Amino acid sequence: MFRLALKMLYGDVAKFIMLIGGLTVCSLLMTQQSGVFCGLMMWTTATIRNVDVPIWVCDAKVEQVNEVVAMRDIEVNRVRSIEGVEWAVPLYWGIIQTRLPNGAFQQIQLTGLDSATLVGRPPRMTEGNVEDLRLPNAVVVDQVTVKKFKTKGLTLKVGDVFEINDKEARVVGICHAEQSFMGQPYVYTTYERALEYVPPQRKTRSFVLAKPREGVPAADVVARIKKIPGLTAFTSEDFQDQTMGWYIKYTGIPISFGTVVVLGIIVGIAIAGQTFYLFVHENVRHLAALKAMGASNALLAEMVFLQAFAVGITGFGLGTGLTAMLGKKFMMIGEPPFFLPWQVLAFAGAVIVFICLFAAGIGLLKVFRAEPAIVFR
């Protein structure tokens, strides 16, 4: 009987293709748009993952990593004095403009690292040595810097020179770093040299990076740091959650992508529900004949559900496959951002199951109302 149900499904090629197409589009819209949304959220926390330290300390008014409120120089020593802190170092982070030799301009995200330890150094070097940052006027640029400078007429390589705030910056290395939400490339140097590049200001500390002593939970150290007036602290994981939560709450990104996802679900329900109802309607005489031969409503329901889920599995597979192909292409060119966690696939799969149940339920109404005698009319 189940083989007969599949033959009935595959025999109506036009409706089968329409069903597959509707669920494929639905699955594609849900997974692809959700993947880009998750990628954008990952971009918002790129600075945290690139620096990769256990504890971030910042001004008490800071709500996410991409907004900086400068702190006094003394805050580093105050953090070092906290019980359970193994070390604490300053970090400069700010947006500043560079000038290329051909006169073009490019904004960058300047990151100043502690010169003694280079804590927060680039995650992966592709050319040069990060230790060379201690040389005069030395900077390390990321792959986005190379890409953006190339569009402005400069093929950047180790040894090249450009200007930051009318001061020389010599490239001693190229690294690979996660791209940020702000879009500007990362340029690394030492903390002291970063202060030479930026305009003079009274407060210079953007963040204080810290690590708890071995055996001391980071959450305990964070709680002690928060007791310092004017400061707050986060573990790396909490700071990422705080940052993503801020963008979800205060920007229109979730609404924009959520609207597309909802439209995808509506399209799937409308196309699959209507098409499957027409499919069952056209085959109701055959199902009634089976009922006349003794098939129960339960058996007919199993046949209809099998048809619905056969279409659903195929559509879901095609949709997620297309999403994977697009995602691979996005990751190769670097934009738009793309990240597809298993939760997105689980959500899309659950929606497809719901659509299949909905479509099968509509069809079953026609089946249950069918009288066996209809085959003789």
Q: DSSP state, 226? A: T
Between 12 and 269, the more confident residue is 269
* Residue 38 and residue 118 share a domain: no
Instruction: Kindly state the tokens that stand for 250.
Output: 């205060």
**End-of-domain residue from the set 229, 264, 282:** 229
**Where is average pLDDT lowest: 201-210, 277-286, 312-321?**
277-286
Task: Give the residue-averaged pLDDT of 212-225.
Answer: 92
Please tell me the predicted confidence (pLDDT) of residue 354. 86
Spatial distance between the Cα atoms of 166 and 228, rounded to a whole number of angstroms: 38
Q: Is 64 helix (H, G, I), strand (E, B) or coil?
A: coil
Between 345 and 3, the more confident residue is 345
Given a cut of 80, is residue 3 above it in pLDDT? Answer: no
Please tell me the predicted confidence (pLDDT) of residue 238. 93
* Residue 206 and residue 268 share a domain: no
Given a cut of 80, is residue 161 above it in pLDDT? Answer: yes
Please tell me the predicted confidence (pLDDT) of residue 138. 94
Spatial distance between the Cα atoms of 209 and 120, rounded to a whole number of angstroms: 8
**Residues forming beta bridges with residue 174, ordered by sequence position:** 127, 141
* Residue 21 and residue 70 share a domain: no
Asked whether residue 48 is domain-assigned, the answer is no
* Residue 86 and residue 220 share a domain: yes
Please tell me the predicted confidence (pLDDT) of residue 308. 79
Task: Give the residue-averaged pLDDT of 315-323.
Answer: 91
* Residue 260 and residue 190 share a domain: no
Domain around 360: 2-43+252-376
* DSSP assignment string, 173-207: EEEE-PPPTT-PPEEEEEHHHHHHHSPP-S--BSE
Given a cut of 70, is residue 288 above it in pLDDT? Answer: no
**What letter represents residue 246's amino acid?**
W
Can you give the pTM of this predicted structure?
0.81
Task: Give the residue-averaged pLDDT of 337-361.
Answer: 86
* Residue 219 and residue 114 share a domain: yes
Dihedral-angle region of residue 200 (phi above 0 means left; psi in -120 to 50 means alpha; beta otherwise): beta
Asked whether residue 53 is domain-assigned, the answer is no
pLDDT > 90 in the chain, percent: 34
Q: How many domains does the chain have?
A: 2
| Local confidence band at 240 (pLDDT 50, 70, 90 cut-offs) | very high
* DSSP assignment string, 82-149: STTEEEEEEEEEEEEEEE-TTS-EEEEEEEEEPTTT-TT--SEEEEE-GGGGGSTTEEEEEHHHHHHH
**What's the pLDDT tens digit per position in 189-204?**
999 999 999 888 888 8
* Residue 172 and residue 257 share a domain: no
Nearest by Cα to 25 from 14, 17, 13: 17
Asked whether residue 52 is domain-assigned, the answer is no
Please tell me the predicted confidence (pLDDT) of residue 295. 62
Asked whether residue 286 is domain-assigned, the answer is yes
* Residue 74 and residue 29 share a domain: no
* Residue 222 and residue 174 share a domain: yes
* Residue 225 and residue 269 share a domain: no
Given a cut of 80, is residue 273 above it in pLDDT? Answer: no
* Residue 124 and residue 203 share a domain: yes
Place of tokens 């197409």: 21
Over the chain, what is the mean pLDDT? 85
